[in-house]
Amino acid sequence: MKHHTTRLQRLAAASLLTIAATSGANAANVTLFGDRTAFLSAIGAAPVVTQDFESFADGANMSGVDILPGVSVSTNLANLKVFQGSGDKELFATTRDLPEAEYHINVGGLYKSFGFDIDAFDPATPGPGFLDFYFADGDTTYQGIPVLPLNATENDPLFQGIISDTPITKIVWREGPEIGGINCCEETALDNFVAVQAVPEPSTTLMLLGGLGMLGLPAVRRRMGWMR
């Protein structure tokens, strides 16, 4: 998968402006990215985990499978599988007689920095599609975020990334209207996931050090994650 910056990606980046929640006791402080290079620059030297699906067989059933440690994807459609497109492999939800696909990325509160590519199979796909972000503190500020334009391709995808000060529990991608009508053809797939590697809570680390006589120490709890 190519990651070069194009006019399409710059337009996508402009559609996802940096947003900071300023109201509500549970508001998360979030930055959204439409450019992979900018996202990777922002997370700096933090260790990452990635998934590009190249190690899976074409057609592999991905329902209930962890694509990253502690992360799985589900869909409103009948099948979720690895699909060998004209380029590389990607995660594809399909059934040809249902409305627009939804991808539910179940993050489980393990990560605060997360990104992925949205591939499309027809540049004429109308938009917008929408992203919903869910957080461990219940913040609902970042839901129904439109993503334009949607006319990406496999080799020129739209990157979507997030860095939050609050653990992310779920990300939902809802693709745009179908080209052939409401009950036609799913047009998008997901690929090239990247997340800042999760680290254990200090209490878990102390338990692991029990053999060194550390179990008697009180656990000092703090929020998990790299981004502060």
Q: What is the pLDDT along the chain (228 residues), one digit of tens a residue?
A: 444 444 334 434 444 443 433 334 455 799 999 999 999 999 999 999 999 999 999 999 999 899 999 999 999 988 999 999 878 999 999 876 666 789 999 999 999 999 999 988 666 666 788 999 999 999 989 999 998 766 667 778 899 999 999 999 999 999 877 666 655 666 789 999 999 987 655 443 333 334 433 333 333 233 333 333
Please indicate, yes or no, if residue 114 is contained in any of the structural domains: yes
**66 and 161 together in one domain:** yes
Cα–Cα distance measured from residue 99 to residue 185, given in angstroms and rounded to the nearest whole number: 8
**14 and 74 together in one domain:** yes
Q: What is the pTM of this model?
A: 0.76
My answer on whether omega of the bond before 177 falls inside 30° of 0, hence cis, is no
**133 and 165 together in one domain:** yes
**193 and 208 together in one domain:** no
Burial of 148 (0-12, 13-18, 19+ CB in 10 A): middle
Please indicate, yes or no, if residue 97 is contained in any of the structural domains: yes
Spatial CB neighbours of 120, under 8 Å, sequence gap ≥ 6: 150, 151, 152, 153, 154, 157, 158, 187, 188, 189
Question: Are residues 99 and 106 in contact, defined by beta-carbon separation less than 8 angstroms?
Answer: no
Q: How many domains does the chain have?
A: 2
Helix, coil or strand: residue 54:
coil
Question: Are residues 90 and 53 in contact, defined by beta-carbon separation less than 8 angstroms?
Answer: yes
**206 and 186 together in one domain:** no
**153 and 222 together in one domain:** no
- How far the first Cα of the chain sits from its last, in Å, is 31
Domain hosting 87: range is: 7-197
**176 and 214 together in one domain:** no
- β-pairing, 71-75 vs 102-120, is antiparallel
Closest CA to 121 of 159, 82, 154, 89: 154
